[in-house]
Amino acid sequence: MQNNVFKIKWLSGLIYLPLTVFLFSCTSASQDKLVAKVQNKQLYLNDIKHIFPKDVSKEDSVSLAKLYIEKWVETQLLLNKAELNLSKEQLNISKEIETYRASLLIYKYEEQMLREKMDTIVSDSELKKYYDAYSANFILDEYAVKASYVQIKANAPHLTKVKKWFASDKEKDYQDLVDYCLENAMGFENFNDDWVLWSDVAKTIPQSEEIFKKIAFSNKVEIEENQIIFLLNVKDKRAAGEVAPLAIVSGKIKNIILNKRKVEFIHHLEKNIFNDALSKNKFEIN
């Protein structure tokens, strides 16, 4: 055993020089160079060439190779220990290997069929139908709002008009507000008129904590601080504990529908293969 350990260390010590020379050589002889050996197990340079990314530097190649080779040596040593210490019954793993192989091949086949055959489009009507049926399962753990926000200097021109436009639901007033804010506002956001979680709103606007305290009592919030005015217009809101709006949970619902569809697809695939084989007398059950 001491001779084996000495040989492994000796080869490991030689890793740097051979790899530096051989990794960038195109000769077939260098590709067949022995880089490590544990008893009767051998590792050649040709066995590790797949680990190197394109355009990798010489230094990084040597480091990657050294790590790979040392891990290979460690694996072989552990395998030798296992083979020496396990009983014949424990060493007989042919059934486990075959079971694993069968499971792996079936999994790969089913994944391929899913990619090629399963419909992955989830329509808006499907999302709505599922949401209506199971909305009680989608409860908010924080505030959600439909809102718009403006941050503007207190001495900005036409401030009265800005506040009027901001509070209005008219399309013309909104467009006037957008045009004005592009020229004069320090910050403007309407969140695309979608439902958003308050934690996402808070990332965008200053004074979010103070504003949040007020939206429970009013849909229109105005705060002035250091000659800056913060305006928030909440068009709709839902508090923590209420049912989440569909827009907030549509991604989660889509995943649920696709996972359910995947299970059904696999079930029908397996059933169809069985029935097809049965109709063609491809198996017998005694």
Residues 224-238: tens digit of each pLDDT: 888 888 888 888 899
pLDDT in tens, 62-116: 888 889 889 999 999 998 898 889 888 888 888 899 999 999 999 999 999 999 9
Token pair 């007989």: residue? 92
Domain ranges of the chain: 2-89, 102-136+246-280, 140-238
- pLDDT per residue over 239-268, tens digit each? 999 999 999 999 999 999 999 999 999 999
- For the chain, the straight-line distance linking the first and the last C-alpha, in angstroms and rounded, comes to 54
Residues 256, 258, 260, CA angle at the centre, nearest 5°? 70
Q: How far apart (Å, rounded) are the C-alpha atoms in residues 233 and 218?
A: 9
The values of phi and psi at residue 213, to 5°, are -65, -25
Radius of gyration of the chain (CA): 33
CATH number of 140-238: 3.10.50
Which pLDDT score is estimated for 9? Answer: 43
H/E run at residue 184 = helix 171-184
d(CA 61, CA 65): 6
Rounded-to-integer distance, Cα 150 and Cα 34, Å? 69
- C-alpha 136/C-alpha 134 separation (Å) is 5
Q: Is the model more confident about 238 or about 169? A: 238
Q: Is 146 left (phi over 0), alpha (psi -120 to 50) or beta?
A: beta
